[in-house]
A and B are shown apart, each in its own frame.
Chain A
Amino acid sequence: AQKVTQAQTEISVVEKEDVTLDCVYETRDTTYYLFWYKQPPSGELVFLIRRNSFDEQNEISGRYSWNFQKSTSSFNFTITASQVVDSAVYFCALSEARRGGSEKLVFGKGMKLTVNP
């Protein structure tokens, strides 16, 4: 069975601090996909990134960066120089990778980030 664990439930930081959101996953599949979604107070889940299990290259997008380590089954997300607009609940998710597209997503419980001015 697939499982995603986000051990941190809530983090509060001051603007401009860096913050790392941890994600650990379990799967028996050799090929899978990992995702991060953001859920701001408005409630709509916003897709941030997808990572394939066969591509361990880290990725940076502006102030966001992701560190995928297959050896520790982790897919951590770092926000550099956090801003108040980053305040949201962040979800890590996992899906099988089959031919023909996206399968169901298995989500972690989410981590609420509050960035204070």
Chain B
Amino acid sequence: DTGVSQDPRHKITKRGQNVTFRCDPISEHNRLYWYRQTLGQGPEFLTYFQNEAQLEKSRLLSDRFSAERPKGSFSTLEIQRTEQGDSAMYLCASSLSELQYEQYFGPGTRLTVT
């Protein structure tokens, strides 16, 4: 059983460019979550999906951010017109929706905006 995987692991981009990250959850996990973690802080919730439906979005998720999970399997998180403040670790997690409350995290994508 493979864990949550994320790609790429590291991304360096110039301010103003668009970036897209991918997350593959644990198979059969129908809930998928995105979090953002900056240095010295705990992860902050961004959004989550149950299957292909996006159930909640944080106010942290500005209109430059969009997330999709088109077939209820993998998910993508896109950031348009990146800003230096977007530099962070982007974490993906997954869980089973029925009676399982722990979330299992991937290794993260570290974004650096120069």
CB-CB under 8 A from A105, the residues of chain B are 33, 35, 43, 45, 103
Main secondary structure of the interface of A (DSSP, over half): strand
Q: Count the B residues whose beta carbon is within 8 Å of the partner chain — how many?
A: 30
From B17-25, B64-72, B76-84, B90-98, the one touching the partner chain is B90-98
Q: Nearest chain A CB to B64's CB is how many angstroms away? A: 21
Given A101-B97, A104-B48: A35 touches B42 (CB 8 Å cut-off): no
Q: In this assembly, does B28 line the interface, its C-beta being within 8 Å of a C-beta of chain A?
A: no
A-B CB pair tally, cutoff 8 Å: 69
In contact, A43 and B101 (Cβ under 8 angstroms): no
Among A43, A97, A101, A109: residue with most chain B CB under 10 A: A101
For the complex, what is the distance from the CA of A101 to the CA of B33, rounded to whole Å? 13
Q: In this assembly, does B111 line the interface, its C-beta being within 8 Å of a C-beta of chain A?
A: no
Give 19 new A-B contacts, CB below 8 A, not counting A44-B108, A102-B31, A106-B45. Answer: A33-B101, A42-B107, A43-B108, A44-B107, A47-B102, A50-B101, A91-B42, A91-B43, A100-B98, A101-B95, A102-B95, A102-B100, A103-B56, A104-B48, A105-B33, A105-B103, A107-B42, A110-B40, A110-B41
Binding site for A on B (CB under 8 A): 31, 33, 35, 40-45, 48, 50, 56, 58, 89, 91, 93, 95-108
